[in-house]
Structures are given as structure tokens and as C-alpha cells.
Amino acid sequence: MPLPQIYLDILAKKEYNEESLAKLNELASLIRSRILEVVSKNGGHLSSTLGAVELIIGMHAVFDSPKDPFIFDVSHQAYAHKLLTGRWDSFESLRQSGGISGFTKPEESEHDYFIAGHSSTSISLGVGVAKAISLNKEEKTPVVLIGDGAMSAGLAYEALNELGDRKYPMVIILNDNEMSIAEPIGAISKYLSQAIAGKFVQSIKNKLSNIISNAPNATYLAKRFEESIKLITPGMLFEELGLEYIGPIDGHNIKEIINALKIAKNIKKPIVIHAQTLKGKGYSPAEGHLEQWHGVSPFDMKMGKSLSKASTPSPTQVFANTLLELAKEDSKIVGITAAMPSGTGLDLLIKELPDRFWDVAIAEQHAVTQSSSLAKEGFKPYVAIYSTFLQRGYDQIIHDVGILKTPVKFAIDRAGIVGEDGETHQGLFDISFLKPIPNFTIFAPRDNATLKEAIYFANSFNEGPCAFRYPRKSFKLQDGIFTPTPFSLGKLEELKKGEKVLLIGFGNGVGKAYECANALKEIANLECGIIDLRFIKPLDTESLAKIGAKYPYWFVFSDSVKIGGVGESLCAFVSETCLKAKVHSFEFRDEFIPHGKSEEIEEKLGYNNYLPTILDLLKA
């Protein structure tokens, strides 16, 4: 059933009374029901997007999308925006292959100004838009919706710093739900969440303003009062940066939201509207809860329980349990994550050893840099960050870790295709961006058993920084197919001898190589050799030369991009050593990978279609 036109007509008219406001509250309930209906089936982001429904209705009630650019920070909270902009029916395909994205996406709708899957970009984007509006002498207003968790990243303050100086008209809605993905970290988040104090101060401020306005020397008194009151209001931070401030307001009161947005629109200055909301609003199991309801797999709405049942531990669980065992024995082991404690498994260690494991909020740069000084002081820091988010700390990896050669251990979760989150989250680039950095050691396990061995190796490795990567849900290779052996620096493992064809796997690619070997045995009665490369830096050149010389065809499997990837390193090695092997890589092409279930995406893009290529090359 499509969204009834009556609600869109009310939003388009931009005139509100008690009757129309009641209808908008009905609309909020309809939107929440639609979100729950689809997300419970498809999975997706839940608590954050449920909490932002009234704020988004307010944005559409006062401003004109797409004329006024709506810029959502991360944009996982923008489901209501999608439902209000012609995607009510297609919302059924949320995060499915060929369906609509879980984030804003300009190619999907003109109402989606920017793609956003990483945190804290919105205000910076807004400043750029505001500059363009000023240069073009246009009458429109950028509207930014940013969460309090996103305010823990430096990029937001870099943008605020310039905006407060240049005074471009912009409306920033600060969605303060007292939590980001996990529990809020840092003084700024705690400062922003002074709900009771904020309302009290606003009341006192309004009453005293009325008194002062009728007093002698009112102008002087008002100025002194304004300067003094800033010292105790939640808006002090923004006002000192040169921005106007309204709030805190009730982020679920549509009338209050619309009134605040109308004021902000007319001020023609940069202004922050501080709105306090409840994460998970309207679905009691998710209200006020933390990380488990941020991003969900399909779940039973009535029971509030996931429908997914993993038969084996995930790589993340194996990492967390193994590191906890080691940390209990070795007091020098410490750990850092950036706002993803549950996602990386560090929540277990933060709970057990809170003095040695930390969530530093959405601040990957800070996470990387502090790990280097910890290492310099003799500790063994594990930095557990998703592949896609590690990109945000790249300069720090080079400047603060690589050059100093500090023995930081990077545990790279979500390496490879992650599926439904799409382009902004696929973990395809870490090999390519880490490999050129001097002093780095890069390796990967092939299954859960060798992941344990990888963690043991990282713990004993002190010759410089190292990084090991592992997939999101499970390895393609099951434990027990090959016996796990300890990692030895720069040494590969020959898993199976064969003839003519050598299948080279790195990390999760070993499972694909094994799958390929079985298929070639069945189809062509061909016994293929299989190598687990284990290390991409340093390469085991001695073993590669010895083993590789027996095989005229090398086929490479790794869940990473071709450019700068495993295949390139092997091609360079073959060229430098004048081996006569033909190397073909089945890594990912030079393109961003869309959203959808991992298996469906690989099939759709042809990444599972390796057998015809191999057989054609063998015939040639």
C-alpha cells in the first residue's frame, strides 16, 4: 500500500494547525511501522532511524527537498527520508541486490544529496554547499542532520571552525540521543546530553530576558547576561564557535521541531538546533538500548529476537575470545576500537578488563596515533577496526606508526565483501593501501583455527607494525579441512601438491581456491596445487620460486581489489625472477561494489565464474 497522499499534501502546503499536526503524528507512526516491517525481514539499521522520524518529518515540513539540500551524517538514520521521497513501495527492497540502498544515494533519488556511510562528514559537506549557494546567489538553505556520536570526530569541528567564522546560512540539527552506535564516549557527548539542566537553563534564560528588557540600561544588562549565561548552557560550545543555538528541544514533538526549524530558516545564519531523542523510539525492545539494535539481521518483531542462528563462531568472536585469553596472561596487551566495541568483539574485553581496553569514539585517527605511543611505552596495542573505517586513519598509519616502526597490531575486521551495506563499507582496499608502507607486515588466516594462530603470531611479533585481516560473517573454508600450523614470518604454506595449475589463496581466498580445486577435479579430472600465501608482505619468495616453477599457470584468489592487490605482487615477482608462469587474478575489478547479499553480489558481478576462465586458458 502506497503512502496516502494526504500526508504529502500537508507537508507540501507548509501551513500547520492542530489538525494537520495531528496528521503528521499519524505519519510518524506509519513510517515507524513501515521501517519495522521491512527491517525485521531484510535487516538493516534500526534504532537510530526510528529515533529520527519526527526530525525528518520536520525537515520536510519546513524546507523544500531537493531545492534545499538535505545532508544526513552517516545516513543510516535516513529511512524516513526515503519513505517521504517516493520510495514507500520500493522500500521493500531495502539493502537487497538491485534494491534501494541502506544509505542516501544520489543515483537513487534527486532527494539524496550525497552518499554517506562514514561518520562526521555532513557539516563539511554543508559548508561546501553553502559556499556554492553564496557564489551562485541562490535562495536555498543546506540542512544537516548529525548525531551526537558523530560529533566525537575531528572533521565535524574543522567544519564548524570555518562555518562560525564565515557565517554561511545553514541549519544543523544535532540529534542527541545520548549514544552513538555504542555507549557515548568523551566529554563532548556527555556535555551535549544535559537534558534537565538544559531545560532549566532555557526557562531561567527566558524569564530573566523578560525582566532585563524592562529594566534601565537594558541593552548593557542584556549583553552582560548573554555573555554570562553562555557559561552554563549546553549551547556554549557552538555559540563560542560563532554559531547561533536553539535548544535543547524535544526531538519527538513535531510542533516544537517545526517551530524551531522555522526560526532557524528565517535567521539566515549558521544555527544549531539541539534536539533530544530516544534511540529506538516506538519499538520498546530497542528503546534506549545500545549497540545490539543499531544494525540488525532479520528478527522476529514480536519476540525482539534475531532469526539468524550461526552454527560456528564468527571470526569476530574467535578474535575476541582468543585475545581475551592472551590478555589475561599478558598484562602488556591492550586494545582500542573506534565506536565499534561489539562489532569488533572488544566489548567483551572492555567489560572484563576496562583499564586496558578502550572505545575512543568515532575517532580512528586518534585510535591509531595513541596506539603508537602505547607501543613505544612497551605495551602491545591491538587496534580493532573495520577495513572500511581504517581508511580514515591512513595518514596516522604512515606518519605515526609506519615511520616510527612501532609494533602496533592492526586487527582488520570486515575484510572483503560485507554485503548489504554496499559501497561505503566493502573492505576491499586495506591490502592495497597498507602494502606500500615501509616497515609493515601483512598476513591473513584462512579459517577460524588459523585466525587464532594469527593472533598468537601478532602478539609475539615486535619488529614493527603488523596487520591481519578476516571476513565479516564466516570464512569460506571450514576448520579441519587443513591442519592449522603456527605462522612463521614471511612463510607460505603448501596445502596440496598438483600438476600444471597452482591455486594461490590469501586469507579468505584460500577457501575459494579449495572450492576451485574440487570443481576442477570433478570437471576436468585435474589435480591442482594449492598454496596458502599467508603473508603478502613479506612474500615468501624462496618457496614461491621453488614451488611455482613446477606450475605454468597460477590463479590468485583474494577478497581484495586487483589494483595494488595480491595478484600484482605475484606478477611483479614472476617478472623479476623470470619465471615462465602465467598469473591470473580473480580479485575484484576497479569498481565500487554495490549492496546486496555477498553471494548474490559475487554471482551478479561474475566473481564466481572462474572455471570457464581457467579452462579457456588451459586450452590456449
Which one-letter amino acid corresponds to residue 177?
Answer: N
Check the annotation: does 117 bind a ligand: yes
Q: How many C-beta neighbours within 10 Å does residue 504 have?
A: 27
User: If DSSP codes are grouped into helix, strand and coil, which group holds residue 495?
Assistant: strand
Check the annotation: does 518 bind a ligand: no
What is the spatial distance between Cα 357 and Cα 349, in angstroms, rounded to a whole number? 6
Which one-letter amino acid corresponds to residue 508?
Answer: N
Check the annotation: does 80 bind a ligand: no
306 burial (CB, 10 Å; 0-12 / 13-18 / 19+) is middle
Q: Any long-range contacts for 88-93 (C-beta under 8 Å, 24+ apart)?
A: 88/2, 88/3, 88/34, 89/2, 91/34, 91/38, 92/38
For the chain, the residue count is: 620
Strand bridging mode 501-505 / 553-557: parallel
Check the annotation: does 111 bind a ligand: no
Check the annotation: does 119 bind a ligand: yes
What is the spatial distance between Cα 556 and Cα 512, in angstroms, rounded to a whole number? 10
Q: Which of 281, 392, 452, 562 is flagged as catalytic?
A: 392
Q: How many C-beta neighbours within 10 Å does residue 215 have?
A: 10
Catalytic status, residue 364: yes
Check the annotation: does 149 bind a ligand: yes
Angstrom CA distances, 55 to 132, 279, 579, stand at 26, 12, 63
Please choose, from the candidates 589, 581, 591, 584, the residue with its C-alpha nearest in 3D space to the C-alpha of residue 611: 584
CA atoms within 13 A on the CB side of 71: 24
Please choose, from the candidates 539, 521, 522, 538, the residue with its C-alpha nearest in 3D space to the C-alpha of residue 530: 521
Check the annotation: does 402 bind a ligand: no
Q: Which of 54, 244, 291, 364 is flagged as catalytic?
A: 364
Q: By the 8 A CB rule, do 440 and 131 touch? A: no
Q: Which of 279, 380, 446, 472 is flagged as catalytic?
A: 279
Q: By the 8 A CB rule, do 325 and 352 touch? A: no
Residue written as grid cell 606450475: 551
Catalytic status, residue 392: yes
Check the annotation: does 76 bind a ligand: yes
Q: What residues contact 163, with CB distance under 8 A and at least 6 apart?
A: 123, 126, 127, 130, 170, 241, 242, 243, 270
Q: By the 8 A CB rule, do 259 and 54 touch? A: no
Annotated binding-site positions for Mg(2+):
148, 177
Annotated binding-site positions:
76, 117-119, 148-150, 177, 283, 364
Which residues participate in catalysis according to the annotation? 279, 364, 392
Annotated binding-site positions for thiamine diphosphate:
76, 117-119, 149-150, 177, 283, 364
